[in-house]
Amino acid sequence: MSNVKNYAEQGGEKTVIGGELEIAVGGKLTFAGNELKPAGTQADSTASTIEGLVTDFNALLAKLKAAGLMAVE
């Protein structure tokens, strides 16, 4: 067993990150060919109606999709 925190298992099928993974300026993280980005900020909901809550929730879903964190239908 190795004492390093970050390593690729034999054969390269799995990489383990036990330390920090830093994406440098200009670098990117992709999943299935799609770039992942931080999602936009979503304010806490102050909705007092179901309709208002649906609007807030749909805004959150749109931000997750735009960031590549949720599949787009």
Domain assignment of residue 71, yes or no: no
Q: Quick: pLDDT tens for 3-52.
A: 789 999 988 899 999 999 899 999 999 988 888 888 999 999 999 999 99
Domain assignment of residue 21, yes or no: yes
Residue 2 has pLDDT above 70, yes or no: no
Locate 26 and state its tokens. 């200009």
Domain assignment of residue 35, yes or no: yes
Domain of residue 10 covers 6-66
Domain assignment of residue 38, yes or no: yes
Locate 25 and state its tokens. 């300026």
Note whether 54 and 28 are within 8 A (CB).
no
Does the pTM surpass 0.85? The reply is no
Domain assignment of residue 1, yes or no: no
Domain count, the chain: 1
Residue 1 has pLDDT above 60, yes or no: no
Amino acid identity at 68 = G
Q: Where are the alpha helices (DSSP H) in the chain?
A: 50-66
Domain assignment of residue 41, yes or no: yes
- Which band of pLDDT confidence, cut at 50, 70 and 90, is reported for residue 55? very high
Domain assignment of residue 61, yes or no: yes
Domain assignment of residue 73, yes or no: no
